[in-house]
């Protein structure tokens, strides 16, 4: 089903937001919050609490992270300082409510989906990384910019980024409008494992 995961995630995320509101007090995660997160993430209550305690600490007790805090935390979790180059774009993908910060529920849902979720789930989020101007389409320049960063991280020549971007746009653009919808991008990555691998910003 088209965008089924993202619709389900958005719906459950809204449930969490309604429960948590704008609470930023220490240990403000309620039993109901945890129950929703357990259902969505597949993690146990104890694991959710451990994640929350660490996130709470890394966010200086605010339970939400700005870009710099997110950058430090994400690269620490991935144990790869080179990822600093792409964390601005991953931050944007994780910030579902476009608040300019990533709260605990946004982080946990997105991190689990992009780390241990299905391949489709990962590419749903990857689309958000590539869609730099948030117009629900990926243009050639956007693809080049993200693929340039990915190539830098994995040690590929700069010119490879343009080649990959051109190949992705030509191969995935089913309706030939010189832009990729989420459906085109996700399906393209799923059907072409080689291009999908290079277009995956979460497996670096």
pTM, rounded to two decimals: 0.86
Instruction: Give yes or no for residue 1 having a pLDDT over 50.
Output: no
> pLDDT tens for residues 174-187?
999 999 999 999 99
Angle at Cα 97 formed by Cα 51 and Cα 114, nearest 5°?
45
Give pairs for 125-128: CB < 8 Å, separation 24+: 125/93, 125/94, 125/202, 126/93, 126/185, 126/189, 126/199, 126/200, 126/201, 126/202, 127/182, 127/185, 127/186, 128/92, 128/93
Condensed to tens digits (0 to 9), the pLDDT of residues 17-34 reads: 555 444 444 446 888 889
Lookup result for tokens 């190949």: 167
The dihedral formed by the CA atoms of 135, 123, 51 and 82, expressed in degrees to the nearest 10:
-90
Structure-block tokens of residue 2: 């088209």
* Domain annotation for the chain: domains and CATH numbers: 4-116 (1.10.238.10), 122-198 (1.10.238.10)
Nearest to 85 by CA among 98, 75, 96, 95: 75
Q: In whole numbers, what is the pLDDT of the chain averaged over residues? A: 89
């Amino acid at each position: 089903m088209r965008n089924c995961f993202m619709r389900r995630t958005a719906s459950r995320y809204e449930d969490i937001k309604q429960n948590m509101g704008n609470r930023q007090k220490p240990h403000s995660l309620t039993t109901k919050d945890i129950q929703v997160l357990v259902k969505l993430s597949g993690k146990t209550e104890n694991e959710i609490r451990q994640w929350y305690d660490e996130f709470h600490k890394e966010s200086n007790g605010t339970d939400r992270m700005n870009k710099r805090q997110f950058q430090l935390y994400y690269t620490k979790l991935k144990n790869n300082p080179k990822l600093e180059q792409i964390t601005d774009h991953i931050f944007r993908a994780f910030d579902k409510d476009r608040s300019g910060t990533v709260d605990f529920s946004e982080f946990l849902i997105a991190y689990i989906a992009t780390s241990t979720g299905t391949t489709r789930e990962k590419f749903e989020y990857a689309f958000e990384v590539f869609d730099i101007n948030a117009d629900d389409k990926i243009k050639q320049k956007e693809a080049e910019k993200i693929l340039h960063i990915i190539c830098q991280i994995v040690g590929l020549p700069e010119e490879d980024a343009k080649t990959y971007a051109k190949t992705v746009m030509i191969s995935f653009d089913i309706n030939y409008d010189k832009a990729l919808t989420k459906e085109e991008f996700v399906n393209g990555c799923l059907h072409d494992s080689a291009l999908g691998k290079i277009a995956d910003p979460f497996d670096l």
